[in-house]
Amino acid sequence: SAVISQKPSRDICQRGTSLTIQCQVDSQVTMMFWYRQQPGQSLTLIATANQGSEATYESGFVIDKFPISRPNLTFSTLTVSNMSPEDSSIYLCSVLPGNTEAFFGQGTRLTVV
């Protein structure tokens, strides 16, 4: 199993600024996944964060907008850069240690004004 601590739980930010979201896992995992849930939509994968290599981004997401760090096997950050109101969403990190069920952070509810 895995327990994920995600911070912050919510934030209200001014447009044009950046917010960094952190996820700390209580065990070592190879891959961490970052998801976004826009209002009324299902969760969508932003990128996969691997330790020691560049993150892999899904179609429609770019590193300049969502830079990711993965300094070790228990921690990752996602930054939402140059924010606009369209970035208002819930952001989630997730891991699947081994061939097991998925574990999720509590989510970060971001509002851009």
Relative to beta strand 10-13, strand 108-112 is: parallel
The site string for another protein over 54-83 (x = CB under 8 A, - otherwise) reads: ------------------------------
Question: With contact defined as beta carbons under 8 Å apart, do 86 and 80 qualify?
Answer: no
42 lies in the binding site for another protein (CB under 8 A): yes
Looking at the chain, the number of H-run helices and the number of E-run strands are 0, 11
Stretch of 15-23, 39-47, 59-67, 78-86 contacting another protein, by CB under 8 A: 39-47
33 lies in the binding site for another protein (CB under 8 A): yes
- Provide the minimum distance between the beta carbon of 62 and another protein in the complex, in angstroms, as a whole number: 18
38 lies in the binding site for another protein (CB under 8 A): no
24 lies in the binding site for another protein (CB under 8 A): no
51 lies in the binding site for another protein (CB under 8 A): no
Question: With contact defined as beta carbons under 8 Å apart, do 87 and 17 qualify?
Answer: no
Please state, in angstroms and rounded to a whole number, the distance separating the CA atoms of residues 89 and 38.
5
Q: Is 17 helix (H, G, I), strand (E, B) or coil?
A: coil
